[in-house]
Amino acid sequence: MSARGLVIALAALAAWQPAYGQAPGASNRPAWTLAELERLALDNNPTTRAAQAARDAAAARARQAGMWPNPIAGYTGEEITRRGAVDPRGEHGFFVEQTIVLGGKLRLSGEVFERAVDEAEARIDLQRQRILTSVRSLYYQLLTAERRVDIYDRLAALGSEAVGVTAQLFNVGAADRPDFLEMEIEARRVQLELNAARNDAFALRQRLASVVGVPEVANGQFAGAIADAIPELEREVTIRALVERSPQIRAARAVVARAQAVTARARREPYPNLFVRGGALYNREHGETTRLPIGWEGQIEAGISIPLFDRNQGAVAAATAEELQAQADLRRLELSLGAQGAVEFARYLTALRSAESYRTEILPRAEQAYALYLARYREMAAAYPQVLVAQRTLFDMSVRYLASIEEAWRSSLRLQGALPGDGLLRVGADPGESPDGNVTGE
């Protein structure tokens, strides 16, 4: 390969953007788009159904909490003999008893569970955001891995070319055997890196298919390119949006609202309930004048509970303390999201600027230096160590360029996804818990 041809190959390496990433045995279906993968993940990921089931359970509890107590109906008898028989002259009949809950306690009980429904709704949004961020992160990681495989493949070809040049020079006595062995070692090292990159791409395909819930995704093609425009984010706007739009904050606020409803319900508990009982008895005693059974007689009882000893003091104190705890957790989460957003934005900005610098400044120079050194080495005008150093520099800069793009994408996705946690295993975690930073979907 001539020096001009090598420069052209290296320029193609820097400019190459794969339209698809395809695994061995991939089907002929159209390439998976990111939107399709997101839709499949929301439909098939089991954590979505688990979060929805938790919401349905909370809604059912809310309906149950507002139900009136069931009435009690029964038989009543008086003047029972020792043998257990009803005295023919005694009384027997039926009664109906009902407890009437006063003080709006049923309504307040329903509000407690309605706030739990709000919390469950927020957790559904939180889980959906976790899943979407996991899918997007794995999608761009996979595009990066496919691009890394292609780069290592091309770098391996360049290394083989360098080995061929060294072998030719060695055969004519223009290169030493240590130079030839070193060049072979470098080519083998790149081949090992290529094998590792292929294995990483395979593992990422399996992880993406697991999050999406469709095994066929692992062997499919993927539309898009890693160098697609990374969104430009503003620091203050982005960090403020983390707190204002975060599903975690919404869930934490729902926890505060539920704790407040529990406190209100506990304060209303001492209000007395009304007890009402009514019925009828058939009196078999004979009247003094008619000498006939007196017949049916009605009866009614009513009363209220008196909060003399138990005024629910302990439950009120506990509910108040839990309300304060929920408010403190909300504030802690707001501060935590703001701090983590600042750290993540710093990573994002560093990676974004690094990727731009590698693309426009470092890689072109590394490519040119390697091409010139190899051409001069072919003409016996440069020493082998210079070629080896230039080659290793080009390899390293190419990998670091991809790593910077991948980090920029990962950070931007986490910032836009309100820093959610893992999308595959975590379901309905404590909304006051700080994000764990894992968005890979494992």
What is the distance of C-alpha 135 from the center of its chain? Answer: 10
**Per-residue pLDDT tens digits for 128-161:** 888 888 888 889 889 888 888 888 888 788 777 7
- Count of domains observed in the chain: 1
Residue 311 pairs with which residues in a beta bridge? Answer: none
Note the pLDDT of residue 27.
52
**Structure confidence at residue 8 as a pLDDT band (50, 70, 90):** very low
240 CB-near residues (< 8 Å, 6+ apart): none
In a domain, 295, yes or no: no
Percent of the chain with pLDDT over 90: 16
Residue 281 pairs with which residues in a beta bridge? Answer: 93, 297
**Structure confidence at residue 317 as a pLDDT band (50, 70, 90):** very high
Judge contact between 126 and 47, C-beta under 8 A. Answer: no
Note the pLDDT of residue 13.
42
Note the pLDDT of residue 172.
66
In a domain, 338, yes or no: yes
Note the pLDDT of residue 325.
94
13 CB-near residues (< 8 Å, 6+ apart): 151, 154, 155, 367, 398
Tell me the CA distances in angstroms from 148 to 45, 74, 117, 194, 196, one per residue in order.
29, 80, 46, 8, 10
> For residue 91, is pLDDT > 80?
no
In a domain, 74, yes or no: no
> For residue 439, is pLDDT > 90?
no
**Per-residue pLDDT tens digits for 334-359:** 898 888 889 989 999 999 999 889 98
Least confident range of 62-71, 138-147, 269-278, 388-397: 388-397
In a domain, 374, yes or no: yes
> For residue 285, is pLDDT > 80?
no
In a domain, 141, yes or no: yes
Note the pLDDT of residue 81.
58
Note the pLDDT of residue 206.
93
**Per-residue pLDDT tens digits for 181-212:** 777 787 888 888 889 989 999 999 999 998 88
Note the pLDDT of residue 362.
92
In terms of Cβ atoms closer than 10 Å to its own Cβ (0-12, 13-18, 19+), residue 200 is middle
> For residue 87, is pLDDT > 70?
no
Note the pLDDT of residue 168.
72
The label of the residue with tokens 């790593």 reads 403
**Structure confidence at residue 329 as a pLDDT band (50, 70, 90):** very high
More confident: 278 or 4: 278
Backbone angles phi, psi at 297, to 5 degrees: -135, 135
Least confident range of 5-19, 37-51, 103-117: 5-19
Least confident range of 131-140, 167-176, 315-324, 330-339: 167-176
Range of the domain at 138: 3-54+129-255+327-416
> For residue 432, is pLDDT > 80?
no
In a domain, 176, yes or no: yes
Spatial separation of the C-alpha atoms in residues 398 and 364, rounded to whole Å? 10
Judge contact between 307 and 321, C-beta under 8 A. Answer: no
**Per-residue pLDDT tens digits for 95-141:** 899 988 888 888 888 888 888 898 888 888 888 888 888 888 889 88
Q: What is the helix (H) or strand (E) element at residue 88, kind and residue range? A: strand 86-100
CATH of the domain at 182: 1.20.1600.10
Note the pLDDT of residue 415.
84
Longest dimension (CA), the chain: 146
Spatial separation of the C-alpha atoms in residues 163 and 266, rounded to whole Å? 81
In a domain, 212, yes or no: yes
- Rg (alpha carbons) of the chain, rounded to whole number: 38
User: Mean pLDDT across the stretch 372-397?
Assistant: 77
Amino acid in the structure at residue 66:
G
**Per-residue pLDDT tens digits for 355-382:** 889 988 999 999 898 888 878 877 767 6
Highest mean pLDDT among 78-82, 131-135, 413-417: 131-135
Residue 213 CB coordination number (10 Å):
18
> For residue 428, is pLDDT > 90?
no
105-171 and 34-44 helices, crossing angle to 10°: 140
In a domain, 67, yes or no: no
**What rounded mean pLDDT belongs to the chain?**
79
